[in-house]
Amino acid sequence: MVLVYRVAQPAWRSLRHRLRVVEVHPEAPGVVSVVCRGRHLDRLAVSGGQFFIWHFLTRELWWQGHPYSLSALPQPPYIRVTVKGLGDQSSAMASLRPGTWVAVEGPYGAFTHHARVRDGVALFAAGVGITPVRALLEDLPAGVDVVVVVRASTPADLVHRDEVATLVRQRGGRLQEIVGPRHKVRLNAKVVRSIVPDIAYRDVYICGPDGFSAAIADVAQQLGTGPEQIHTETFGF
């Protein structure tokens, strides 16, 4: 089973889709998007919010696999991932050259609209945690009522800001940006209640650093949100 799911299936998928890097561009300080081109991406069974294990086949990176969420649904023949430069690999991705071959494992993860149990959602993201939230926002059924809360230290750190605003506007949803140092601008129960007064009747999706995700989940439960309504995707930054 290990050989099938960790070796044979990823190899088959990579040969089938033949992904190659076509563009790398900055999104925010220390954050880049990598756009890949491939074949048959319309047959890639992935939901917004899921991630792949990515292998960029350069001499320095081919042996490393790291989980990165899609930052948008595939738009055949293109697929995009957005990464913050933290470790050696994510930092090196800013230097990837067009034409670099890419191998993927996945998709994985339950941070999708399929986990939803309510008719409305509140999406919370901090920093580059917006990437799976942005893809999830794109994939939510049309009738879902949406509130998006994005946390960043500075306006420049609001990754995919225009894309998120456009998607929220198209859905007739609400977008709240919380910008400033963490010790000065807090998302406590009072603030969250003022932004999402009906949070107890929504599914709550959270993606960001461990502390951010834990704090928002705790606040949501304080405000009456059931544990089955809370869905988290945690990034280690």
One-letter amino acid at 98 equals P
Contact residues for 220 (Cβ-Cβ < 8 A; gap 6+) = 122, 192, 199, 204, 206, 229, 230
Direct distance between the N- and C-terminal alpha carbons of the chain, in angstroms, rounded to an integer = 32
Q: Is 182 left (phi over 0), alpha (psi -120 to 50) or beta?
A: alpha
The confidence band for 14, taking pLDDT boundaries of 50, 70 and 90, is low
Is the pLDDT confidence value at 6 over 70? no
Pick from 26-30, 111-115, 138-142, 176-180: least confident: 26-30
- Domain ranges in the chain are 2-108, 113-234
Question: Could you give the CA distance from residue 194 to residue 50 in angstroms, rounded to a whole number?
Answer: 30
pLDDT tens digits, one per residue of 123-167: 999 999 999 999 999 999 999 999 999 999 999 999 999 999 999
pLDDT at 59: 78
**Which residues in 22-42 are b (16+ Cβ under 10 Å) and which e?**
eebeebbebbbbbbbbbeebe
| pLDDT range class, residue 184, cuts 50, 70, 90 | confident
CATH number, domain 2-108: 2.40.30.10
DSSP 16: H
Phi, psi for 99 (deg, rounded to 5): 100, -15
CA distance 168 to 46: 21
Task: Please tell me the predicted confidence (pLDDT) of residue 113.
Answer: 97
Confidence of residue 42 (pLDDT cuts 50, 70, 90): confident
pLDDT value at position 16?
64
The fold adopted by the segment(s) 113-234 is Rossmann fold (3.40.50)
Confidence of residue 9 (pLDDT cuts 50, 70, 90): low
